[in-house]
Structure 1
Amino acid sequence: MRIAPLVGACLLGLMAGCKQKSHNSLPILGHREPVTKVIDGNTVTDTLYHSIPDFQLLNQDSVLIDNHTFDNGVYIANFFFTHCPSICPIMQRNLLKVYEKYKGDERVRFLSHSIDFRHDSPAVLKTYAEKLGVTNDQWQFVTGSKADIYNLSDSYMVYTKEDSSAPGGYDHSGHFLLVDQDKHIRGAYDGTDDTQIQLLFDDLEILLKEYE
């Protein structure tokens, strides 16, 4: 399991692009850049934070969904593949715990991207979701072209790669990414670690309070 250097650095508090966490808010992960605007004749410098770009992917019901599917709420994203023999089963069972707690809560959604663009068709993803215990559209399982999925993983600052030497033929990060209503990444959590899962529960509550 690997994580992209940007996320790793931010989690260690070493990346200048991270907005620092306080007791009442979460950091914004990723790069940032100053943006200068003229408002009412005054020059104002604002900050543009890293965000998830627009996307369109096919879900387990063979329906095209896009970034607007996740408007007006927060979501947790990850990358996996259905026949993964290593970390994916642990990751998805842990994410299921979060799903079960927030099932029916429209403020929280889930998005699992398959990195196996050859095998994981919508029908395969549908069967996988049902076996896992997902019973509503709150958790989306999506597929797309190799370019779509792998480029999007870069936007989430996580590692995905075809690798014939890796279990199942793919190497990828085992992290969950917590994304806010502005499509900013607000946290990254090792999906195989119980302590990190508890941190995700805690941080999710902090993030939801921002919108009360």
Structure 2
Amino acid sequence: MRPKHVLLLGLMLLVPVLAFVFLYTFGTNRYALPTFLPDHVDSTLVEGKWRRDTVFHQLGDFTLSSQSGRLVSQKDLSNGVYVANFFFATCPGACPRMNSQMARVQEKFRNEPRVKLVSYTVDPEHDSVAVLGRYAEQYGAIAGKWFFLTGDKTALYRLATEEFKLPAPSGAAPGIVHSQNLYLVDRDKRVRGIYDGMKPKDVDRLMTEINVLLYTYDHNQ
């Protein structure tokens, strides 16, 4: 075989290898998801040197009633990821649009048991189990897939302001907390994405990043 042909063959074999290395190295970093809600900065000793690392907030446990009357806690969401939002049933504009986007997420992952949806009411005095049952039906919420949760007002207020770090409403007494955000929570109960629930393109990105997390879990056992 002529040297020219050997060189050409070598280049043909080298290109796929280089492409694989590029995708493996840069592709992995390209789709690594950030973590949100930093708690504090901690220092750890690594090989004789102190390294400062950010410690991110891990969502605390809760026990609330779903639209079926069943009690739901973080343990019921521990086998995968979930998408969370805050709403109230009498909200006239933003909440229906936001929950319509949540319904899109449900349909996308209808057959993926590791993906669940959680909608916390911020008006539990009005949003009883019966009210949430009717509300959930409007959006075709699948039992065991999409939970609409209500319960103690103080517990829900703490969940919104201390766990998800939503700004407290003005005034001395706790009031209704407003947010149009959707939150992607991983299996370690850390927030890995925050999205505008009023923007379909943002929700498209949310669905892509859910797949990224699931892929990570499947390939990094």
TM over 0.5: yes
How far apart are residue 35 of structure 1 and its match?
4.9
Looking at structure 2, the residues matched to 22 and 88 of structure 1 have their Cα atoms a distance apart, in angstroms, of 35
Say which structure is richer in helix.
2
Specify the alignment match of 1:175 in structure 2: 181
Answer yes or no: is 1:88 the counterpart of 2:71. Answer: no
1:129-185 Cα deviation digits (max 9, x unpaired):
11211132110000122211111112112246489xxxxx94501000000000000
2:199 to 193, 196, 202: 193
Count of residue pairs brought into register by the alignment? 185
Query: CA 1:160 to 1:137, structure 2 compared with 1: closer, same or farther past 3 Å?
Result: farther
Runs of 5+ consecutive residues of structure 2 not aligned to the other structure: 1-27
How far apart are residue 188 of structure 1 and its match?
0.4
Specify the alignment match of 2:128 in structure 1: 121
Looking at structure 1, the residues matched to 99 and 168 of structure 2 have their Cα atoms a distance apart, in angstroms, of 17
Looking at structure 2, the residues matched to 188 and 81 of structure 1 have their Cα atoms a distance apart, in angstroms, of 19
How far apart are residue 104 of structure 1 and its match?
2.9
Runs of 5+ consecutive residues of structure 1 not aligned to the other structure: 1-20, 164-168
- Give the structure, 1 or 2, with the largest relative contact order (CA under 8 Å, sep 6 or more): 1
**In structure 2, the residue corresponding to 1:211 is in which secondary structure?**
helix
Contact 1:74 1:178 in 2 (8 A): yes
Between the two proteins, what is the percent identity of the paired residues?
35
Which letter does structure 1 place at the counterpart of 2:159?
Answer: L
Which letter does structure 1 place at the counterpart of 2:78?
Answer: D
Contact 1:32 1:50 in 2 (8 A): yes
Instruction: Calculate the TM-score normalised by the size of structure 1.
Output: 0.78
Specify the alignment match of 2:82 in structure 1: 75
1:84-119 Cα deviation digits (max 9, x unpaired):
102000000011001011113111000000011111
How far apart are residue 44 of structure 1 and its match?
8.5
Which letter does structure 1 place at the counterpart of 2:124?
Answer: F
Answer yes or no: is 1:157 the counterpart of 2:126. Answer: no
> Highest Rg: 1 or 2?
2
